[in-house]
Structure 1
């Protein structure tokens, strides 16, 4: 079992990080929270969950153990696979997710793409007792070097495509968000798009 991978960050998109560890490039699926934390760094350490299937070995990487713990809890719920769990962790931070589950906020959970009423209720029923709500760590607004809208738009649409959304609706939603909030960072554009798609 791989506990973590530490190395140079060779490539980074909002959905995937390639970490070069002693000359081997590991393609690791990441959430938006992890993307925000490692963006702009030359090296990183990601805690790993290995999903081994008949047709693929998939690595999911997390910037801290808390996020990985939540991911493992989410995939223990029937009907939630790795990609859906990653989608949930991209739509809200670990502390927000803990608050949503402990306060039984079904409607907030339903805003995540692919999560219907029954799945949201199942997540809350199965995980409510397993999640300890500590002091919710306040999310620090991550600043970003001002970039042209086109770069943000392209990156956001590419990330949404990687997460399984069709290009046309993704483009439309991202353009709408950027018109509404021109100063928004790419992570926040994607988070909002996940709620609107």
Structure 2
């Protein structure tokens, strides 16, 4: 529903901020990782995750789009709610979490408060393949000005194809076609080969 909010930080503490966006103050829950990135700023942009429950509509904000993506992955695991997801992202950096999941490091994930051995194993079991498929640079913000090949690769990965395989196919198509293909044409040709 909301992509991001950009405004003045009216109030900030390690667990939440009040972001003034054109005169409207939004109470946004944040992780310690996000707090460490915005603590010295007066103005900031937060990528938003809007969570709806029976008794509350809650905003969660992240300084990086990759952290929000990891938060959504964590929420997809049964038994992990928004509060636990935020706790995980506050305990260790998103890059460390991703590495622990990909490597199957149960002990690293168990060190997080509120995560027992069964939860740690469930997180690894449910997310390991997804994160491997996305590749190690999934936490890096996608640049806004991409080449045709990069844009096609991003679209193919979002459609669920393995990044390494999709990248190989896109490169082959780009080399074979001296004339420039549009993003749509490149994706269509790649879909036939994948």
> Which ranges of structure 1 fall in alignment gaps of 5 or more residues?
138-197
TM-fit CA distance, 1:136: 9.7
Which residue does the alignment assign to 2:56?
A: 56
Q: How many equivalent residue pairs?
A: 137
Which residue does the alignment assign to 2:172?
A: none
Once residues 56 and 136 of structure 1 are traced to their aligned partners in structure 2, the CA distance between those partners, rounded to angstroms, is: 30
Normalised by the size of structure 1, how large is the TM-score? 0.67
Tell me the C-alpha RMSD between the 2 structures.
1.4
Question: Within 5 Å, which residues of 2 pair with 1:177-192?
Answer: none
Once residues 61 and 135 of structure 1 are traced to their aligned partners in structure 2, the CA distance between those partners, rounded to angstroms, is: 21
TM-fit CA distance, 1:54: 1.9
How has the CA–CA distance of structure 1 residues 82 and 136 changed in structure 2, closer, same or farther, with 3 Å as cutoff? closer
Question: Within 5 Å, which residues of 2 pair with 1:32-181?
Answer: 32-132=32-132, 133-134=135-136
Asked if the contact 1:4/1:46 (under 8 Å) is kept, the reply is yes
Please list the CA deviations of residues 111-145 of structure 1 after superposition, one character each: whole Å capped at 9, or x if unmatched.
111101111000000000111442699xxxxxxxx
Once residues 56 and 10 of structure 2 are traced to their aligned partners in structure 1, the CA distance between those partners, rounded to angstroms, is: 22
Please list the CA deviations of residues 146-183 of structure 1 after superposition, one character each: whole Å capped at 9, or x if unmatched.
xxxxxxxxxxxxxxxxxxxxxxxxxxxxxxxxxxxxxx
Once residues 55 and 87 of structure 2 are traced to their aligned partners in structure 1, the CA distance between those partners, rounded to angstroms, is: 22
Once residues 2 and 25 of structure 2 are traced to their aligned partners in structure 1, the CA distance between those partners, rounded to angstroms, is: 15
Structure number, greater radius of gyration:
2
SS at match of 1:27: strand
> Which ranges of structure 2 fall in alignment gaps of 5 or more residues?
140-194
Question: Within 5 Å, which residues of 2 pair with 1:13-28?
Answer: 13-28=13-28
